[in-house]
Structure 1
Amino acid sequence: MSPCKRQPLCLLIAFVLLFFVSPTPTIAASTKKNTTKGTPASSTSQPTSQHTPKRPPPPPPNVSTSEPPEGALITKVVIKGLQFLDKEKVKKMLFNQQSGSYSKKILRWDINRLKRTGYFSSIKVQKIYDAGLVTLVFILREQGTWIRGVYFKGNKLLGEEHLRPRLALRAGTPFRREQVEKDAQSIIKLYHSQGYFRTRITVKGSWLKNVQPKQLILWFIIKEGKPARIRRIHLRGNTQVKRSNLIKLLDSRPTNIPDGLLGLFGSRGIYHPSFVARDRYFMSNYYYDHGFMNHRIKGPRIEVSKDRRFVDLTYTIQEGMKYVYGVSAFMGDLIIPRDKLRKMIKYETGDVFNRTQLYQKTIYPILRLYQDAGYAFVRLKPVPQPNAMMGTVNIQYYINKGPLVTVEKVEIKGNKETKDHVIRRAVTLKPGDRYSATKVAYSQRRIFALGMFLPTDQRMGVKVDVVRGSKPNTVVLRFTVREKLTLVLPVPSFSYLPDFEWVFALPIGTTNFMGLGQTLMVRGLVTSRDLLEGAPKYWNIFFYFIDPHFLGSDLYLSLSAYRTYFEPLIAGFARSRLETKLNLSHPVPGWKWARMRLHWRVGQAEISTGGEQD
Structure 2
Amino acid sequence: VYERDSSSVRVIFDVDEGRRVAIARVDFQGNTHFTDEQLAAQMHSRPEGFWWFRSGEYNDDRIAEDLRQNLPSFYGKQGFVDFQVLDDTLMVHEGTGKATLVVHVSEGDPYRIGSFEIVGNRRFSTDELQTFYPFTGEQRTGLLGIKHRQIAYFDDQLWQDATRKLQTLYYNNGYIYVNVRPDVLRRTGPDGKPVVDLRWVITEGQPAIVSHVEIRGNDVTHDRVIREAIVMVPGDVFRQDALIASYQRVSNLGFFNQPMPFPDTKPANEQGDIDVVFRVSEKRTGNINFGASVGQGTGVGGFLGLDEPNLFGQGKRGRFQWQFGKNINDFDVSFTDPAVRESRISATVGVHNTRVRYVIGDLGRLRRRGARLQLGFPVFGDNYTRLFASYGIDQQSFTGSSTNSAFSSAFRCNDCVRSTLGLSLMRDTRIDLPFPTAGTMVQFGLSQSGGLLGGSGNFQRVDVEGHFYAPIGSLGNAATSNVKFVLGFSTRSGFVFGNSPFFEQLFTLGGTQFFIPLRGYDEASITPFGYDPNASANGASPNAFGKAFFTMTGELGMRVSQMLYLSTFFDAGNVWSRPAQFDPTRLFRGAGIGAAVISPLGPLGIDYAYGFDRVDVFGRPKPGWKLHFKLGNFF
Normalised TM-score (structure 2): 0.49
What's the CA shift string for 1:105-141, capped at 9, x where partnerless? xxxxxxxxxxxxxxxxxxxxxxxxxxxxxxxxxxxxx
Counterpart amino acid of 1:564?
A: T
Aligned ranges 1:416-431 → 2 under 5 Å: 418-431=221-234
Contact 1:252 1:275 in 2 (8 A): yes
CA distance in 1, matches of 2:36, 2:221: 55
Match of residue 152 from structure 2: 351
Compare relative contact order (CA 8 Å, sep 6+) and give the higher one, 1 or 2: 2
Contact 1:445 1:462 in 2 (8 A): no
Match of residue 557 from structure 1: 347
What's the CA shift string for 1:328-380, capped at 9, x where partnerless? 122335334445444542423641112232233x4234323433443211000
**Superposition RMSD on alpha carbons, in Å?**
4.8
Aligned ranges 1:67-82 → 2 under 5 Å: none
Instruction: State the secondary structure of the residue aligned to 1:425.
Output: helix
What's the CA shift string for 1:563-583, capped at 9, x where partnerless? 2224679xxx97643333221
CA distance in 1, matches of 2:4, 2:229: 64
Instruction: State the secondary structure of the residue aligned to 2:347.
Output: strand
Of residues 436, 461, 477, the one that matches 2:276 is 477
Match of residue 40 from structure 2: 247
Structure 1 residue 385 displacement after superposition: 0.8
Structure 1 residue runs of 5 or longer lacking an equivalent are 1-176, 178-203, 531-536, 610-614
Match of residue 380 from structure 1: 180
CA distance in 1, matches of 2:337, 2:264: 29
> How many residues were matched structurally?
380
Is 1:540 the counterpart of 2:330 in the alignment? yes
Structure 1 residue 291 displacement after superposition: 0.8
Of residues 120, 123, 133, the one that matches 1:332 is 120
What's the CA shift string for 1:529-563, capped at 9, x where partnerless? x2xxxxxx322233344343344331222233332
Aligned ranges 1:169-208 → 2 under 5 Å: none
Structure 1 residue 511 displacement after superposition: 4.2
Structure 2 residue runs of 5 or longer lacking an equivalent are 138-150, 401-635
Match of residue 292 from structure 1: 80
CA distance in 1, matches of 2:280, 2:97: 45
CA distance in 2, matches of 1:219, 1:410: 64
Of residues 400, 424, 440, the one that matches 2:243 is 440
Contact 2:375 2:389 in 1 (8 A): yes
Instruction: State the secondary structure of the residue aligned to 1:429.
Output: coil
CA distance in 1, matches of 2:339, 2:79: 54
Structure 1 residue 585 displacement after superposition: 0.8
Counterpart amino acid of 1:509?
A: D
CA distance in 2, matches of 1:465, 1:503: 50
CA distance in 1, matches of 2:196, 2:256: 47
Match of residue 525 from structure 1: 323
Q: Structure 1 or 2: larger strand share?
A: 2
Match of residue 170 from structure 2: 370
Aligned ranges 1:302-317 → 2 under 5 Å: 313-317=101-105
Match of residue 200 from structure 2: 397
Counterpart amino acid of 1:524?
A: W
CA distance in 1, matches of 2:337, 2:13: 61
Q: 1:518 to 1:397 in 2, by over 3 A?
A: same
CA distance in 1, matches of 2:378, 2:276: 27
CA distance in 1, matches of 2:344, 2:163: 38
Match of residue 209 from structure 2: 406
Aligned ranges 1:41-190 → 2 under 5 Å: none
Contact 2:27 2:36 in 1 (8 A): no
Structure 1 residue 406 displacement after superposition: 1.2
Structure 1 residue 305 displacement after superposition: 7.4
Of residues 318, 323, 329, the one that matches 2:106 is 318
Contact 1:463 1:481 in 2 (8 A): no
Instruction: State the secondary structure of the residue aligned to 2:372.
Output: strand
Counterpart amino acid of 1:317?
A: V
Counterpart amino acid of 1:253?
A: R
Is 1:582 the counterpart of 2:385 in the alignment? no
CA distance in 1, matches of 2:218, 2:30: 55
Contact 1:565 1:577 in 2 (8 A): yes
CA distance in 2, matches of 1:490, 1:255: 56
Contact 1:419 1:515 in 2 (8 A): yes
CA distance in 2, matches of 1:238, 1:454: 54
Normalised TM-score (structure 1): 0.50
Counterpart amino acid of 2:160?
A: Y
Contact 1:466 1:476 in 2 (8 A): yes
Counterpart amino acid of 1:526?
A: F
Q: 1:564 to 1:338 in 2, by over 3 A?
A: closer
Contact 1:492 1:507 in 2 (8 A): no
What's the CA shift string for 1:474-531, capped at 9, x where partnerless? 123344667777555737685543x55456656553545555444444433334xx2x
Structure 1 residue 323 displacement after superposition: 0.9
Q: Structure 1 or 2: larger helix share?
A: 1
Q: 1:246 to 1:448 in 2, by over 3 A?
A: farther
